[in-house]
Amino acid sequence: MKKIKNEAALSKKAIQVGENYALKRGYAGFSPTMSANEKTEAIYRLLVLDKLVVALPADKEDLPSMKHKLALWIQKLLPKDDPLLK
C-alpha cells in the first residue's frame, strides 16, 4: 500500500463526505457516540455496496486499508485546486 500525501486529512474529509452521503442515502446508523473507526468501516462498506469503491480482499480488510481506500476515493472527488491535494 503506497502512502498518500496528507492521507490522514484526506481520510478525515472522506469520513465527513461519506457520512453526508450515507445520510442522504437513508442510513441512520450514525450516533454521536460512534467512533471514527466505526464510521470508517460503515462508510467503506456502504461505498463498496454502492460500487463506488473496489472491495479489499477479505484477508486485507483491516482499518488502515479501509482508511486508505477512503482517502483514495475522496482524492478523486476533490477539485484539483483543493489544499488537501497539495
Q: What is the pLDDT of residues 27-49, one digit of tens each?
A: 887 888 999 999 999 999 999 99
Mean pLDDT of the chain: 92
Backbone φ/ψ region at 26: left (φ over 0), alpha (ψ -120 to 50), beta: left
Closest listed residue to residue 43, CA positions, set 59, 61, 64, 66? 66
- Does the structure show a pLDDT above 90 at 16? yes
CA atoms within 13 A on the CB side of 10: 25
Supply the DSSP symbol for 58. Answer: G
Closest listed residue to residue 69, CA positions, set 82, 57, 86? 57
Residue 33 identity? T
Determine the pLDDT at residue 35: 93
Q: Which three cell numbers stand for residue 77?
A: 472527488
Determine the pLDDT at residue 74: 95
Q: Which residue carries 484539483 as its cell?
A: 80
Average pLDDT over residues 52-73: 95
Average pLDDT over residues 1-25: 91
Supply the DSSP symbol for 11. Answer: H
